[in-house]
């Protein structure tokens, strides 16, 4: 593996001295025990994927939060994301690349372009005796989590993905998508068997609420597993989660770590903040910021564990960017951006649109209920005359924060990677998304096959 060293060139003699000072690593910063230590063993990996997130999201979120973000000091490099058949990837091809180290075509999960099965970093970890877990705020059968433990030609075939997650005996599965585990007679998909019963036969404890998750205790060494399906479809956006009995992403991350850490041979855990991407598709800036906040809380759980454990590597990186989010928009003569105005937005654009009456005469009432804005007459007319009221709400709210958008789909820009823990410096420099699982396999000492 190529090690990249980033330093500021002052003088040859100074650099020579720096290079040989004990405790210094390729980032040019003194390492703390368990952070960037090239000689430290990696026992566990927590792979955290903020779907749709890139540097512009990171910048707007920092301005939204009005203080530093947990991953800021752990920035290591950037990576490219193209798929095998397109310069702009979808989540299936990106997830496959990030799980297997191989490119594939958009829409394909766990298979190469010739439909040959690819081994994932989760599967390779399991083969070495490690425990494994998947956590997501989407359905647990959605493209990104599916890419780590299933192999299908079509990402939309979630009822074919669900049994594979159980067949691969992933120890902890937490997210939405209960309908994909139920037969059609019980509200699920007609193609699905009663996989929850099957999971019970495989020694999975099954939970459906935040409280049940908090009370769940499993013994990994005794072969016990945990299946948490907290919604029929995807979980609620973070800003609507309190209206449900669903756990937060941080709750699920904490529970997953607590269960998996009991394994004697270490664990591999993938955690996805799924709905940052969905907010990007909708150009919904408030939804994006609040789901990033939920994702940051989950990263804080992971890093807190890694700080104490000192054998855990935490890697954070999105699968692609969504929406072409920009920091600033239009002419912006004041040269100012203020995402903090989004803190008092309490509903998605879709939710606000659903609250409109038939003639849209209650726009001010809806805005007053879910924001602290007072709309101008031109803003009211924008929403009243729009073909898509949800998009119009999102446009007006993004304009207030000076957050711009160039697309309602994915873009092909590079993505930042952050890493904390032993061997974190291995992620330094300009990479491709296929490099991430290869580095993980190397630091774990496992073989990642094709």
Contact (CB, 8 A) for 371 and 346? yes
Whether residue 245 is found in the same domain as residue 150: yes
Q: Is the pLDDT reported for residue 319 higher than 50?
A: yes
Confidence band (pLDDT; 50, 70, 90) for 334? confident
The answer to the question of residue 35 being in a domain is no
Whether residue 233 is found in the same domain as residue 106: yes
Q: Is the pLDDT reported for residue 61 higher than 50?
A: yes
The count of structural domains within the chain is 3
User: Which H or E run contains 419?
Assistant: strand 415-420
The answer to the question of residue 334 being in a domain is no
Reading the block at residue 33, the tokens are 């025990």
According to the model, what pLDDT value does residue 28 have?
36
Residue 91 appears among annotated catalytic residues: yes
- The predicted model gives 344-359 an average pLDDT of 97
pLDDT mean across residues, the chain: 91
Q: How far is CA 24 from the centre of its chain?
A: 30
Pairing mode of beta strands 326-327, 403-404: antiparallel
Whether residue 365 is found in the same domain as residue 423: no
According to the model, what pLDDT value does residue 286 have?
98
Catalytic residue among 31, 83, 91, 259: 91
According to the model, what pLDDT value does residue 329 have?
87
According to the model, what pLDDT value does residue 289 have?
98
Domain span at residue 26? Answer: 1-30
According to the model, what pLDDT value does residue 330 have?
74
- The predicted model gives 227-241 an average pLDDT of 97
Confidence band (pLDDT; 50, 70, 90) for 40? confident
Whether residue 318 is found in the same domain as residue 353: no
According to the model, what pLDDT value does residue 221 have?
95
Whether residue 349 is found in the same domain as residue 283: no
Q: Is the pLDDT reported for residue 251 higher than 70?
A: yes
According to the model, what pLDDT value does residue 269 have?
98
DSSP 53-65: --HHHHHHHHHHH
According to the model, what pLDDT value does residue 178 have?
96
- b/e map of 330-339 (b: 16 or more CB within 10 Å)? eeeeeeebeb
This prediction has a pTM of 0.91
Task: Choose among 173, 236, 167, 238: nearest CA to 201.
Answer: 167
According to the model, what pLDDT value does residue 239 have?
96
Tokens 């991350």 belong to residue: 253
The answer to the question of residue 315 being in a domain is yes
Q: Is the pLDDT reported for residue 36 higher than 60?
A: no
- b/e map of 345-383 (b: 16 or more CB within 10 Å)? bbbbbbbbbebbeeebeebeebbeebbebebeeebeebb
DSSP 244-257: SSPPPHHHHHHHHH
According to the model, what pLDDT value does residue 183 have?
84
- The predicted model gives 367-376 an average pLDDT of 95
- The predicted model gives 109-129 an average pLDDT of 98
- The predicted model gives 396-414 an average pLDDT of 96
- The predicted model gives 59-78 an average pLDDT of 97
Whether residue 394 is found in the same domain as residue 413: no
Q: Is the pLDDT reported for residue 122 higher than 70?
A: yes
The answer to the question of residue 152 being in a domain is yes
According to the model, what pLDDT value does residue 192 have?
63
For the stretch 73-85, pLDDT in tens is: 999 999 999 999 9
% of residues, the chain, pLDDT over 70: 89
Whether residue 110 is found in the same domain as residue 193: yes
- The predicted model gives 383-411 an average pLDDT of 97
Of 39-43, 168-172, 423-427, the poorest mean pLDDT is in: 39-43
The answer to the question of residue 37 being in a domain is no
Whether residue 387 is found in the same domain as residue 284: no
- The predicted model gives 258-285 an average pLDDT of 97
The answer to the question of residue 281 being in a domain is yes
According to the model, what pLDDT value does residue 125 have?
98
According to the model, what pLDDT value does residue 27 have?
36
For the stretch 1-31, pLDDT in tens is: 333 333 333 333 333 333 333 332 333 343 4
């Amino acid at each position: 593996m190529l090690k990249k060293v980033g330093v500021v060139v002052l003088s040859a003699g100074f650099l020579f001295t720096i290079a040989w000072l004990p405790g210094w690593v390729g980032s040019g910063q003194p390492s703390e025990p368990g952070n960037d230590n090239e000689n430290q063993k990696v026992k566990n990996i927590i792979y955290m994927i903020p779907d749709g997130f890139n540097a512009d999201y990171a910048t707007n979120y920092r301005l939204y939060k009005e203080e530093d973000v947990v991953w800021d000091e752990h920035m290591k490099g950037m990576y490219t994301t193209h798929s095998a058949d397109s310069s702009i990837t979808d989540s299936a091809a990106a997830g496959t690349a990030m799980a297997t180290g191989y490119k594939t075509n958009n829409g394909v999960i766990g298979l190469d372009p010739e439909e040959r099965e690819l081994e994932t970093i989760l599967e390779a970890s399991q083969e070495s005796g490690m425990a494994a877990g998947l956590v997501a705020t989407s359905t647990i059968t959605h493209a990104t989590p599916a890419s780590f433990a299933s192999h299908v030609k079509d990402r939309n075939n979630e009822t074919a993905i669900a049994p594979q997650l159980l067949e691969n005996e992933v120890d902890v599965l937490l997210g939405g998508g209960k309908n994909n585990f139920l037969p059609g007679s019980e509200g699920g998909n007609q193609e699905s068997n009663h996989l929850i019963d099957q999971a019970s036969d495989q020694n999975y404890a099954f939970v459906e609420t935040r409280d049940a998750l908090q009370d769940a205790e499993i013994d990994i060494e005794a072969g016990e597993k945990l299946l948490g399906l907290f919604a029929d479809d995807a979980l609620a956006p973070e800003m609507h989660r309190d209206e449900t009995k669903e756990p937060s992403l941080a709750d699920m991350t904490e529970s997953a770590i607590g269960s998996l850490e009991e394994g004697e041979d270490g664990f591999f855990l993938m955690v996805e903040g799924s709905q940052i991407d969905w907010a990007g598709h909708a150009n919904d800036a408030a939804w994006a910021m609040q789901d990033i906040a939920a994702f940051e809380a989950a990263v804080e759980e992971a890093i807190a564990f890694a700080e104490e454990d000192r054998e855990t590597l935490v890697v954070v990186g999105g699968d692609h960017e969504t929406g072409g989010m920009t920091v600033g928009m239009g002419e912006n003569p004041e040269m100012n951006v203020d995402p903090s105005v989004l803190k008092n937005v309490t509903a998605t654009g879709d939710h606000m649109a659903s609250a409109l009456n038939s003639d849209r005469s209650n726009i001010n009432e809806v805005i007053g209920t879910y924001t602290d804005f007072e709309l101008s007459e031109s803003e009211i007319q924008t929403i009243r005359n729009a073909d898509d009221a949800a998009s119009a709400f999102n446009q007006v709210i993004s304009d207030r924060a000076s957050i711009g958008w160039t697309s309602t789909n994915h873009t092909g820009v590079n993505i930042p990677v952050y890493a904390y823990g032993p061997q974190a410096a291995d992620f330094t420099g300009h990479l491709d998304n296929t490099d991430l699982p290869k580095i993980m396999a190397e630091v774990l000492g496992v073989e990642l096959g094709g």
